[in-house]
Structure 1
């Protein structure tokens, strides 16, 4: 009796869950549900102080339109986020008290973010819905806590330092929550440990988040004292800062693109198979994340994996198929050392050069330097696997090659890395 296949709609939903991930799907659902509920509530109760709502909505929309992507595929919108927090903290405009609710804050922010995202969608840029939902959800938390709890128990007149302290504490808590949510999404995407991802997010986004939150507090205070003109005055410095961040991100992206282009020289010259460096890099990244490497270590691993075969350019006769795993150990060592020397010429990639130099050593080391770095051991395993598998997607061949590597774990290959490779290959979402 033949086994019945699940309906096409069920298979499509299964692929969507694997691609989106349960945690990301939960965040999208919470953010969308909060926005929908806020819009319905505000439509039912009516807008109050529409001038302030319109001014902040425009700033949020323009800030979302000018969002930037930082290294590590982190999307931020400093102006939009600061404007949203400022609107959540707003108590007065020019001395007159405002009375908008948490629901109106969420509704205005949701509309502003959506309008700012729309031009990107129109020109074909795929939105990072996880980052978009995270920005909205953090504002939901801030608005609900501040406008429903803080303003109820902290007097709005008299002791301003109490209100300012409450804002500062809430900004810090919001930054911690944002880093935690981003870490959950990152751990799910890279299949790494939450603690490692959380520490990476704190280092990468913590200072930026605090600066954005502090800017939101200043916008709220300036608008309270100066009216809506204060919103424009204190948003201008954020625009300058955002331009600096964008240039930094573009420099980092250009740097990575240069490394990727350099890694293809061996492919264009016929020294290795097409796509070899890219496959080794993806597999090494997956194994590194599985072993809990930090983001900075993964970046060095990416550079080293992309350029691990650049030493083959010095060969008079290319190795058949570019498979260095089949070359004599002395030849492997010479290729690694020549590649390391080329990388050191940059003057800024010494750590990457060291990973490339020691990629052919046994996992226990063979000299006075001790065991090679973890990145070198990962590249050694990933390179050997791809040399023996190539572009094949045959799972039986995968198992055979892994067993061959496992037979050499007493001397050549790190058994911990081979075990991590096995787990990565068994994951249904693995691609390289």
Structure 2
């Protein structure tokens, strides 16, 4: 088992009324912002760089480096945008965090906005989670009333306004530039890059887009320091992480552990496989990351370890499937999701996901052929790296990895179809 750590990101979650300002302040809340506002902005950015905090939204880009892309002058308004869309299948970490401890996100927003000289922050939340939006709005009101938001915060001369914005339930708006289009009131579709958001983002002004968990981690780094943060996790992927574990486990839920923890260790925390049925396959970071098998139980779940094993850490949305689940069926369900959620802007994704879903549906219905497997791989090859954003790449991941590890299951469906055709032909000949 990994060295146990005192909970960091989740330490307040089980406290009574953990979402209230009074509870947050009793448990070291808003102490980091008081420290940060007394330091030069460049020093805060350097601290986040030294800590090695990497984006928790999937890509793992170093947060401090991203912050440093923001222009140092203030001749244009600067914006901080929080990506709280969390639409990746299997991902359930940001919404529980905002429900249980919304002030940690708000405090992180204040510190990050100050570091990047932004005076407006937008928190873009998935529209379906109305309960979460209401709780976050209530927390923002509490922060305004206590003087943590608004004009001249804590007498520092720094002003900040936070707006909680409800999305309309589009998966594509998890992509940062589509999110910005949605925030501006347009249909959520990815933008051509460059220009990147740091140069021309929201309203064509310098903008940084960060994930909820990334920003909620910032106050702990300010209080604890970069060396303390690096004591957890691995050298290149330091710090604690919230892992969402769902599927065939005894105790699904959110588990905080250091980056580099393995699935074997996480399964122990989650009570093991449900009903003792063995593990068959699993996703390390949601359905858009290539699947792993039981042979990957000891892969270190950090950005480097997952990549070396042939997948991605993603959002650490671990979906666990036992031996009762058909891989082609699961892959078909994921592909149907991507077909539905494609924004339609680019041809490879729009057309490719449609045809992949058609072929998979035919195979699962028992009408597939061996040629269909090669056809799907060919379509995947025409989508991968050629779509406007990462949705296309994510859509092909379960198909390519499913065929890689479980090709025999796809072939079995084709053999069943051959047998049915032979039987039908025999009956026809006898008739």
- Please report the TM-score for the alignment, with normalisation by the length of structure 2: 0.30
Larger radius of gyration: 1
Structure with the larger RCO, 1 or 2 (CA within 8 Å, 6+ apart): 2
Q: Which has the higher strand share?
A: 2
- Please report the TM-score for the alignment, with normalisation by the length of structure 1: 0.29
